[in-house]
Amino acid sequence: MSDIPTAEAFAAFQQTLQARGMREALVYLNGLTDYRYTGVFRFDAGFAHSLYYVDRVNPEVHSIPGIPEKATYCCFVRDSRGQFTTLDALIDDRLEDHPARKEVRGYCGIPLLDPEGVLLGTLCHFDEMPRDSNQLDLDLLLQVASELARHGQVPRVGGSLSAASSAP
């Protein structure tokens, strides 16, 4: 986790979101950890689709193809409507039979819920390498998830991503 206090990091996230948009705000959020990837995913038609995606090694990549729901750890966030974290999937008994455990070893996801409690998707950090719990500021992720959902940055299924993307 960054040495920046949560309140300060959240204020910087909000400022970046307003001034430079969602992608740059997620780039900022990703930079506060050592996780390679940060994304916002939405479930639709049996897949998790990347609405926004940051890969610190390949910054020119802005999205990835849809992933079958059961092949993501986002399905645990969806099913529990709560946080799901694994620091090393290879030693996490909950993931013994999960198809992604060798490819995605570190993951932390938070649900994105609209004001009515409808699950819009997930906000997550993930990596091919195991990660240290000290890299996670869960309070910050919860605040960011609330901010994104509350201000329409993640459209409902069937909603327009362009409307969310065009927000400053």
> Domains in the chain, start-ordered, CATH in brackets?
6-165 (3.30.450.40)
- 74-117 residue pLDDT tens: 999 999 999 999 999 999 999 999 999 999 999 999 999 888 88
- Going from the C-alpha of 52 to that of each of 36, 45, 62, 163, the distances in angstroms are 14, 18, 7, 13
Q: Which of 138, 98, 135, 112 is nearest to 49 (CA)?
A: 112
Backbone angles phi, psi at 59, to 5 degrees: -65, -15
Place of tokens 């039979």: 97
Q: What is the mean pLDDT of the chain?
A: 89
**Distance in angstroms (rounded) separating the CA atoms of residues 15 and 155:** 21
Q: What is the DSSP letter of 90?
A: G
Residue 2 has pLDDT above 80, yes or no: no
Residue 163 has pLDDT above 80, yes or no: no
- 141-156 residue pLDDT tens: 999 999 998 777 776 6
The pTM of the full predicted model, rounded to 2 decimals, is: 0.89
Query: Please, what is the Cα angle at 123 between 117 and 129, to 5 degrees?
Result: 145
